[in-house]
Amino acid sequence: MKSHPDILAPIKKGNQKSVSGLFGPLKKGEEIFRSGSDNMAKSKWFQVKDKLMLIEKWCRDGLDDGQIAHNLRISKSTLKTYKKTHPELLAAMKNGKEFFIAKVEAALAKRTMGFFYEETKTYIKYCEDNEVRYQEIKKKYLPPDVGACCIFLKNKDKDGNDGNGWADNPMKLKLDKEFLEFQKDIEEKKIF
C-alpha cells in the first residue's frame, strides 16, 4: 500500500537521522511511520485569543468580519467557527460593534436635526521675505438632511402610523392594505 508523503511517510534505515535518539537504531527491514503533524493545520485560536482587545477595537472602528479575519491571518470560515465555539470572541466583537452602531446612530441623529460647525482655513502671505500665516474661522450651519430623516424614522419609529411603522407615503400604505383585503374578498367569493 502506497502512503501519502505528507500524512504517513515510511522512514527506512537510510533516513535514521530524522528519528535518531527518539526510537533507537532501526533494525534491518524495519520501518517507522511518522505522522504528518508537521504538515497538518494547527489551530490558531491561541493567537486569536491574545488579540481579543484588538479585535474589539477593530469592531469599534467599523471593520467587518472579512477584514477582521484578514487582519488575524485566518479565513472567514475559521473566524465564524471560532465565534461559535469561543464565547469570549463573540462577546468582544459584539461589544465593539455595539459601540460603533451607537456612534453611527448619534451621527445620523445629529444629521437629521442639522448642526453648527466651525470651518478653519489657513492662509499664507509673503511680505518682504517673511512668511505670515493667518487663519480664518467661520461658523457654518448644516441644515437637516431629508434622506437622513427618512432613514432614521424608518429604523427608529416602529410604533408610528397606527402600529405600522413610519412610512414616507402613509396613504399608499393604507391603499395597499385595502387592496389586499379586496383581493382576499374576491378569492373567497370565487366559486369553482
Kindly list the domain boundaries of the chain, sorted by start residue.
Answer: 1-40, 45-110, 114-169
**Calpha distance 68→56 (Å, rounded):** 10
The answer for residues whose C-beta is within 8 angstroms of residue 56's C-beta and 6 or more apart is 92, 93, 95, 96
Angle subtended at Cα 91 by Cα 87 and Cα 97, rounded to the nearest 5 degrees: 145
- Condensed to tens digits (0 to 9), the pLDDT of residues 116-141 reads 999 999 998 888 888 888 899 999 99
- Condensed to tens digits (0 to 9), the pLDDT of residues 48-98 reads 899 999 999 998 888 999 999 999 999 999 999 999 999 999 999 999 888
Angle subtended at Cα 108 by Cα 107 and Cα 109, rounded to the nearest 5 degrees: 90
pLDDT band at 27 (very low <50, low <70, confident <90, very high): low
Q: Beta strand pairing status for 130-142 and 115-127?
A: antiparallel
pLDDT of 13 reads: 47
**Calpha distance 132→77 (Å, rounded):** 58
The overall average pLDDT reported for the chain is: 77
Cell numbers at 123, concatenated? 492662509
pLDDT at 191 over 70: no
Angle subtended at Cα 129 by Cα 126 and Cα 134, rounded to the nearest 5 degrees: 35
pLDDT at 34 over 70: no
pLDDT at 9 over 60: no
pLDDT of 156 reads: 72
pLDDT band at 39 (very low <50, low <70, confident <90, very high): very low
Which sign, positive or negative, has the C-alpha torsion 65, 69, 75, 79? negative
